[in-house]
Structure formats: C-alpha cells, structure tokens
Structure 1
Amino acid sequence: MSPATQVRVLGIGMGPQHVTPEVADALRGCDYVLAAEKRDEDGLLAARRAIADAYGVELVAVPDAERDRSPDSTGAEAGYQRAVRDWHEARVNAYERVLRERGGTAAFLVWGDPSLYDSTIRIVERLAQRRGISYDVLPGISAPQLLAARHRVVLHPVGAPVHVTTARRLRDDLAAGQTNVCVMLTGTLDLDDLDDWSIWWGANLGTDSEELVAGRVGDVLGPIHAARDRAKAAAGWVMDVYLLRAPEVRA
C-alpha cells in the first residue's frame, strides 16, 4: 500500500463526553486509529476503542514496548531520559510498521490534551521525519482544567502563576520556591512535611471511577490514599493530578 498521507493527533479529554465537535469531525475522516496496548484488560485502550467505535473508525492496537524501569533508569535524570528516549524509539518503530502496511489517514487519540505531559507529538514528529507524512494536532480538555472545574477553583491566585510539574520534580520545584503547583504524573504521593499546605486532588477524572479529595494536606492525606486505592480497584489503573498551595498564598 501507499504510505500514510496524514496523521492526526487528537486530544480526547477524559473520555467520550469530552470529544469536541472539531475532534469528532476529524475522527470521522480517518481510516483507523493507532493505539498502544499496554497490557491485557487495558482500560485506557478500551476507552479509546469505545470512542473509535462511536465514530465508525477501526482501532488498530499495537503492543506497547516495555520501558526500562530498572534502578539505573528511574534514579538519575540522565538514566531516566535515556530510558524514555529508548521507549519512544521502540514506539516509533512499531507505529511505522503499521503505517507502512496500511497507508491512509491514521489518528492517535491522546488522553487529555496533547500539549501536557504526553509524547505523542514527539513520536509523530519522528514518524514524519522518516516517512514524509503530514500531521496536525487538535486540542482536548486537560486534566488540570477538569481538576479545577471539579473542585470549583482557579488554578492560580490573583495575578500570580501556577507552576505545572511532575511528582518526580516536585521536591526540586518546592525547594526552588514554588508555592502554587499543579502536579501530574504522580506515581507516588510525596507530601511529607507539607501538612499545612492546601491540596485539591483528583483521580481518574471524568470516568466512572473518579475520586476527589480537598483540604489541608495533614488532614486529608489518609483519605487521598484510600481514594486512590478505590480508583485503582474500580478501573484497574489510576491517574491522579493535584493542585498544591502553600499556606501563605492567598487565592
């Protein structure tokens, strides 16, 4: 077959209810959706399949490469960057094989928005360099947006910024003086010594397993851990995000 002529990177928010009319129109014009299959009973793959089915588009599941999670790859920053780079390269190779075989217009359905802590655009850039394809990106509702809406808060104080980071970098960012932080890619909750800070936390936002907790860190850390366990038990996976604010910061 001829090579793919176009790849569309489509933000889908936190599920079918967040698919915008713009993304829906784009999806209807695609020949198939490419999606990584991380494991058996992959809840996020099932959500993507449901969206593809709703718009009459075939989903092609591609077994996802294993990322190196050895101590050398999860400790020092250089090791982490190398492990992620190798993982992305393996993904590029796997997707390229499908594009070469199928051609046509392919879509990637990105959970949340493609601009925030997602590497689909980077992977598609590499595919474009190799195969000379064109691609575009359409936005979706991001997890920080939905978190703020669920808790009915503004992410930043009046006239002040919000710092968006990952749990991996949180301690360095706090040490550098950040006092109003939105944390993504949590993995673990490292909130020791932050008892008097305020937190607005959510897991599996926009899904049937959604959990929300807010309050003083010292008062709600236990309930957050319990809610996190419930979300994972209900869905088989957990993705959480939270806003963390120092006690001296006024909203």
Structure 2
Amino acid sequence: MRKIYLIGIGAGDPDHLTLQAAKAIGRTDVFFLLDKGELKASLVDLRERIVRGYSKPSRRMVTGRDPDRDRTPADYEGTVDDWRSRRSQVIEEMLVEHLKEDETGSFLVWGDPTLYDSSLAILEEVLARGAIDFEYEVIPGISSVSALAAKHRVPLNRVGRPYQVTTGRRLAEGWPEGVDDVVVMLDAQQAFTAYPDVDIFWGAYVGTEDEILRSGRVSEVADEIVKTRTDARTEHGWIMDTYLLRRPQDQ
C-alpha cells in the first residue's frame, strides 16, 4: 500500500521542523513539490533545503506546476473550489506516475496542514476519484499563528478568555462576536485598518531571514504596516503575513 505524509514544516525557519517530521522525511521515497513560479522560488528552496538535510540518499523529488487562481474573485468560494480541483488533478497525475505501490511519498506543507491549508481536502478529492489508492498521515507543524505570538512574546489568549482565528475577508464583515482577541490570516485588503482603537501584533515572513514585525495601537502603526507590506510584496513578489488584534482590557 502506498503511503503519503503531509508534513508541517513550520512558518519558515528550518529549525521549526519537529523530530516527528524529520523522521517522516527520513522514511520518504518520493517528495512532491508544487512550483508556484519564479517569484516564489524561495518557497521551493526551503523545502529542498529540508529534504537535503534529513532525507535518505535514494530519495527522489518530483515537481509539478501549481495552477494559478484569481486572487480577487467575485465568487471567492467557487473560485477556491475550482482551484482545488485543478490542483488535485496535478497532484493525482504526479502520484500515479511517480509513486510505486510499496513506496512512501511526502508533501512538505508550510505551517501546519490542519490550519488554512488545502492539502487534506485535495488528498481526499484524489482518493474519491479512485485513480490511485493510498493511506496518509498528517504530521503537525508550528503554525504561523504560534510563530507570530512567540516572536511578539504575547499569549494568544488572555486568562479564561477565548480567541478566534479568521480571515481578512471575514474581519472586513465585522468583528467576531464573543471574543476580544482575533488572529487574522489571508488578509490582502488589510482589514485591520477599520479598527483603530485596538492593538495589533503583525508579522510577515515570520521565521525567515526576511522577517518583519510591527506592533502597537492600530491608529498609530496602520500606515506603517500598510506601506511595509506593500514594499515587501513588491520586493519579494509574494507575502505571507499574519496578525493578532487585541481589544484593550478597558474596552
């Protein structure tokens, strides 16, 4: 039976790799990578660096082209569903062609495979079509959320109180009910600017050599974060950023 590992490799620092992940990498026969284009070559470079450091000499690496998708669609959920389907077809073709029945394959996933990542849903879609059969295991990793809080030296929650992880699209629709602490991912529109009276702990490329951190009252640091984010995206061609918004205790 073929086996696949979905391995969380952390937010960008090679030292985020857990012992469990390193052992799974050492057992892997074939690593599958999706190339997002020249502007995101650094995303592939880190994966290749990890593979070289922990894999067996006989391992193979297979690269497929990650399908493009509209980043500002009118129908967000429909667009994401279509992109996932096209991505699953690319992955299915790679598995059918390159993973033998008695081999183990791995996908190295940024952060944690269970948090705002499509890998689990895509593997389930591949299995459902029935062109190839395999079992799979998820290896958790350090998420960008955990890495962000650690870098800012702040807890994600306050004593006895919940926090919520959401997206920029959802935050733009309104502050979530019942929470005072909100972690936001995937915010291309910088929705935090609508909340000038809360504190923000922002980070981009957390854990990498290009890491940028900013914090303070939104009213005081929003313009700087917006400019920094724009400049960084222009320089690198892509950006990964996450932030925590926290209502002051007296609000």
Partners in 1 of 2:229 and 2:134 — Cα distance? 41
1:14 is aligned, of 11, 15, 20, to 11
Summarize the Cα distance change of 1:93–1:230 in structure 2 as closer, same or farther, 3 Å threshold. Answer: same
Summarize the Cα distance change of 1:59–1:173 in structure 2 as closer, same or farther, 3 Å threshold. Answer: farther
Match for residue 168 of structure 1? 169
Match for residue 5 of structure 1? 2
Contact 1:209 1:235 in 2 (8 A): no
Secondary structure of the residue aligned to 1:209 is coil
Shift of 1:146: 0.7
Match for residue 30 of structure 1? 28
Which blocks of at least 5 consecutive residues in structure 1 are unaligned? none
Contact 1:204 1:231 in 2 (8 A): no
Match for residue 214 of structure 2? 213
Task: State the Cα RMSD in Å.
Answer: 1.9
Partners in 1 of 2:39 and 2:197 — Cα distance? 39
Match for residue 113 of structure 2? 114
Q: What amino acid sits opposite 1:65 in the alignment?
A: P
Contact 1:167 1:188 in 2 (8 A): yes
Secondary structure of the residue aligned to 1:174 is coil
Partners in 2 of 1:236 and 1:17 — Cα distance? 24
Alignment of structure 1 residues 192-207 onto 2, 5 Å: 192-207=193-208
Name the stretch that deviates more: 6-15 or 34-43.
34-43
Residues paired across the two proteins, number: 241
TM-score, structure 1 normalization: 0.89
Contact 2:199 2:248 in 1 (8 A): yes
TM-score, structure 2 normalization: 0.89
Q: What amino acid sits opposite 2:61 in the alignment?
A: L
Match for residue 60 of structure 2? 58
Partners in 2 of 1:249 and 1:17 — Cα distance? 38
Match for residue 179 of structure 1? 180
Shift of 1:41: 3.9
Which blocks of at least 5 consecutive residues in structure 2 are unaligned? none
Question: How many percent identity over aligned positions?
Answer: 39
Match for residue 247 of structure 2? 246
Alignment of structure 1 residues 73-112 onto 2, 5 Å: 74-75=73-74, 79-103=75-99, 104-112=103-111
